[in-house]
A and B are shown apart, each in its own frame.
Chain A
Amino acid sequence: MGNHILVYVDQFKGQVMPASWEGLGAAQILAEKLGDGIAVLVAGEASHAVAEQAFHYGATEVYYSDSPSLSDYRPEPFTDFVVNVAHEQAAEVILFPTTTRGRELAAMSAVDLGAGVMPDVTALEVEDGRLIATRPVYAGKLLAKTYCETGPQIVTLRGRAFKAPEADSAQTGTPIQVDAGVIESDVSTRVLGYTQAEGGVSLGDAGVIVSGGRGVSNNPSLTPPEGMDEKEAEVWRAQQGFKLVGELASVLGGAVGASRAAVDADYVPYENQVGQTGKLVSPDLYIACGISGAIQHQAGMRSSKVIVAINKDPDAPIFKLARFGVVADLYDILPPLTEAFRQRL
């Protein structure tokens, strides 16, 4: 019996994207229903250590490659590696995490394998041996039920939609080194450098998100340093507000988010934007501070488990989504709220 369910583990410099292990959780459910085994794929410089770790999460077999052509992530050689293993294993299902790398590798492998791809899936069922995937469309305003006519069926799994298995260090095995089949002279790209993002929890993986909006700049009692023009003073005010947002996030071990309005006004970088043209998130706790809740913002966060809204305007649409609401100035509430959590957690 082969192992025809492949799970791609996305790692960068030895750090595994958490959604990768969730793929093994989803694969275990499929393996039971399909009577199949699970093979893990991992590539890159530090992939041997990650390959060994994959056995703790329930892999039957692990294929890895740390060939020099794969030392930096580049989509073309990484796709060659995935396609090589998929051919050799006669893959029926390939699961990727929905990360920037996972999504493009899934897309490109599908071309080489003559397969269908179903990205950013939040639920999987099996009917007559075929996967039926649920994927949010229109930024989650609707759900599409989708399937592939023929195999291999390629899926990327949305982060936090599936549960990662508990790691069991008693489960071990020997990873198999494979030839990636890459001819370096055929690759047209070269990675010249890399700069690390400022620390902190990434939005997609965060269990808690505290977000700020336009309202974060509305504190008239703050006096900006002299010599600033009106716009600079507004951004300065907003940054004082985002400090409070950040402090609450840090006490809760969470990430900082923002509305489009806050990003467009240059209060915070685009990386922090939650919403239809930002990141789609579904943390366990989402605290919206000074965010009115435009439909595009709601689309990005409405599937959060518990939503809390703090806003001066009692008519702000965000209150309709909120389990708990506070009609007040965020500048008054955030400092004591941070303190209250500090004492309790």
Chain B
Amino acid sequence: MNIVVCIKQVPDSAATVVAEGGQASWGDAPLVMNPWDEYAVETALLQYEAYGGDVTVISVGAEGATEAIKSALAMGCTQAYLVSDPELAAADSRVIAHVLAAAIKKVGDVDLALFGKQAIDSDMGVTAPQTARILGWPVLSLVSVVQELNPDDGTIKVERSIEEGRQVVESKLPAVVTVSKDIADPRYPSFMGIRKAARADIPVWTLADLEVDVPDPLVRWPEVVNPPVREITNEIISGASPDEIAESLADKIIGEKVL
């Protein structure tokens, strides 16, 4: 199996993020692997353990943005590339998808490209299906269970989560798969893994290395603002007994006219 996992480096989910001068700022909060992508890495490693091959991490980011990549290597991924190019500073999702598609082609003979559901910074959730469309590969999104993977026949059978329940889908490989959080718990990096990752050589690919003509970005976000501050009047409901509290709470809630 030749598996690629596409990951993104983002500010930690516990970071206090505020808008400053129209831009997002997270102070000195740590930069980590996008939490959704950890499930994609775990899924890749489980398949790698079953079938062998390679698990290659690809991340598009600024120069030196290797924290997330190192976490993935520490978990057990076998190699990694950072795609970085000043021309990507204003990239939108379609541009990034073109870059990832080119990088996946450059890795070569890839059976499966895994992605997390979405990135917790931009919350777009469109890069995986766009990459699939550019590659001309099928996309299996929000996969909760990999039922069967057959590298020899080049097929995969999965259960994917949809609003109405679960859909069982069979697909030819190569395919793009995005994973749901219930697929498997991500492992913790081992001590040896962390040491290995710290010393790992992470080659950087530029757009020239990928030999790709990316389209011009079409989506612009000139301004990021703080959400309007909500004035909430806190009222603690108390009473002589739970029954009394419950009655008075029910009346108050009904008084808000939201039911």
Contacts and interface: CB of A to CB of B under 8 A. Distances in A.
A306 interface: yes
Contacts of A341: 250
B218 A149 contact: yes
A278 B39 CA distance: 13
A284 B120 contact: no
Interface string B224-242: 1111000011111110001
Contacts of B11: 138
B126 A337 contact: no
A191 interface: yes
B208 interface: no
A100 B141 contact: yes
A142 B24 CA distance: 8
Given A104-B141, A324-B237, A333-B245, A110 B126 contact: yes
B43 interface: no
B233 A323 contact: yes
Given A144-B223, A149-B220, A189-B171, A114 B215 contact: yes
- Looking at chain A's contact residues, the main secondary structure is mixed
Contacts of B132: 108
B126 A117 contact: yes
A137 B121 CA distance: 6
Interface string B71-85: 000000000000000
A237 to B, nearest CB: 19
A139 B122 CA distance: 8
- Looking at chain B's contact residues, the main secondary structure is mixed
Interface string A206-224: 0110000000000000000
B2 interface: no
Contacts of A270: 180-182
B118 to A, nearest CB: 9
A326 B141 contact: no
B167 interface: yes
B198 interface: no
B18 A142 contact: yes
- Listed residue (B120, B134, B161) with the most chain A CB atoms within 10 angstroms of its CB: B120
A34 to B, nearest CB: 19
Contacts of A339: 246
Given A142-B24, A196-B165, A117 B93 contact: yes
B123 A139 contact: yes
Interface stretch (A24-32, A63-71, A314-322): A314-322
Given A116-B92, A142-B24, A296-B14, A319 B234 contact: yes
Contacts of A252: 259
Interface residues of A, number: 96
- Listed residue (A147, A303, A336, A339) with the most chain B CB atoms within 10 angstroms of its CB: A336
Interface string B200-232: 000000000000000111111111111100001
A142 B227 contact: yes
B99 interface: no
A147 B220 contact: yes
A257 to B, nearest CB: 15
A336 B220 contact: no
Interface in A120-145: 120, 135-145
A115 B129 CA distance: 14
A332 B35 CA distance: 36
A194 B168 contact: yes
B153 interface: no
Contacts of A236: none
B17 interface: yes
Nearest to B227: A143
B123 A120 contact: yes
Interface string B148-172: 0000000001000111111111111
B238 to A, nearest CB: 8
Nearest to A114: B215
B252 interface: yes
B175 interface: yes
A231 interface: no
Interface of B: 11, 13-14, 16-19, 24, 35-36, 92-94, 97, 120-127, 129-130, 132-134, 137-142, 157, 161-172, 175, 180-182, 215-227, 232-238, 242-243, 245-247, 249-254, 256, 258-259
Interface of A: 12-13, 15, 17, 72-76, 79, 99-101, 103-104, 106-108, 110-112, 114-120, 135-150, 187-197, 202, 204, 207-208, 252, 269-271, 273, 276-278, 284-285, 294-296, 303, 305-308, 319-328, 332-333, 336-337, 339-341, 344-345
12 contacts: A100-B142, A108-B133, A110-B126, A120-B123, A137-B123, A138-B11, A149-B217, A149-B220, A188-B172, A191-B169, A324-B235, A344-B250
